Structure 1
């Protein structure tokens, strides 16, 4: 694997704490080899109190082209980049940094747009649809803005923390103009139902919505990435619904991350709300505070 590394090789790093189980290097490096990219992805194990020092040192590396950012640094990295892609500003987190040749670091997060792209690639277009989103945490927040940006007709947000749901609904409505409200986890009357909670990861978890209220023409999306079908997806298919699990989100996100980093130039089209990469910085980016 390491035989393709040369003096000209561009470095991409995965930054996080407790990376023993991380899969990004073993996923990206074969892609680099297959596509003939002179690049390599390596893990950078960085504790929370070492992140600032890491960034100071990393900025001295002229061949560092980008970083994938994972827990616990997704929020902390916001203050350490130079510009924010609109996704990072909306969500309040970063999971990828592009290191420009002029020294600028640009941070973005593609969880939400990856979810939308995963739907679109299977012909499920959020535009004009009524969407129920259960879960207003980090992933839910990203998905809310992405779905609204893709032209959803309406968005209902549900979360165990009603204040968090209300804050998200108000932010999405103010920024996108989408008719967004807080409501119960009742799928009736919606075209798309999205579970952005951890419910389903545990063997005895309750379902995030009542499957008896699902209808056959609905799309049910569960962002849990499991090698097995999630309980929600199984229950939805029994009701005749179309379903998607977290794999669709992660594949969509990976495609967008590669494009953002300049490693997937042949990708065709972008999901709603993604600014074109050729836009001027003042159109597509905001300065990090």
Structure 2
């Protein structure tokens, strides 16, 4: 069944660029049909330089009720909302905006809680485990705080920008009490390795970590959602690792985001 669009339909969007591998519009539209909601989700392909102009126009759309925000706008969008949840302020990024009836935009982020929920559903709980997180961008920041808050025994954050990794590690340690530091992207000796970078989306991308340094039994989580499985996960499987693709995290993100937007969403396993 396809969404029925009328003059009273509420509009939700996915904002980012590129959006060729995005799954959120299909997921949301399926949910809207199942719940009989008078709503539709559409992709808005907006380049970085055009974000300000887009927001100006979007503010004028009276039936715009919410947006999901993806790369490259998760941090830049902070300056365009009226209010942030504590998780978004902590992470310094957002990926969900609720457009309220009074015209105020409220932003939050679902990456961190979504990642941890997905890991828990798959039996890969980070509690009491040593974790290597590669990537300290918008998603990586949220995941770092969520993994630390979920009880990781220690957390090492690696990023091509060493200053960014250092700053994030210091913030996570101060706010959560988890033993957190920055370091190289060497997975040897870690019980959990999480790729929170875009590496793997393109054919010629480098590996986020050296698969030969992975130990059998290590839990390897790759948040990249295409191709499936990613080169990292294929290499990790060959090493005897336990692997998890971006699907469970995406479901966890959807649960948190859609409930924030006012929908009762219950993915399988939740």
Q: Do both proteins adopt the same fold according to a TM-score greater than 0.5, normalized to the shorter chain? A: yes
Flag structure 2 segments of 5+ consecutive residues without an equivalent: none
Alignment of 1:31-180 (within 5 A): 31-44=31-44, 47-58=50-61, 61=62, 63-180=63-180
Q: Distance in 2 between matches of 1:170 and 1:7?
A: 50
TM-score in terms of structure 2 length = 0.86
Residues 89-123 of structure 1 show CA distances to partners (whole Å, capped at 9, x for unaligned) of 12222221112344432101212222111111111
Deviations 1:231-277 (A, max 9, x none): 2212211222100122332222122211211212557999xxxxxxx
> Which residue of structure 2 aligns with residue 242 of structure 1?
242
Partner of 1:192: 192
- Name the stretch that deviates more: 119-128 or 203-212: 203-212
How many pairs were matched up?
267
Equivalent position SS for 1:97: strand
Moved more, 174-183 or 96-105: 96-105
Q: Distance in 2 between matches of 1:200 and 1:267?
A: 26
- Provide the TM-score with structure 1 as the length reference: 0.81
* Whole-Å separation in 1 of the counterparts to 2:212 and 2:199: 17
Deviations 1:167-225 (A, max 9, x none): 11011111111110112222233210112223333444443323333222210111222
1:189 match: secondary structure: coil
> Aligned pair in 2 of structure 1 residues 125, 12: CA closer, same or farther (>3 Å)?
same
Separation (CA, whole Å) in 2 of partners of 1:216 and 1:22: 32
Gaps of 5+ in 1: 271-289
Greater relative contact order, per chain length (Cα 8 Å cut-off, separation 6+): 1
User: In structure 2, the residue corresponding to 1:67 is in which secondary structure?
Assistant: strand
Q: State whether residues 259 and 267 of structure 1, in contact with CA within 8 Å, keep that contact through their aligned partners in structure 2.
A: no
Residue 285 of structure 1 aligns with which residue? none
Change (3 A) 1:246 1:2: closer
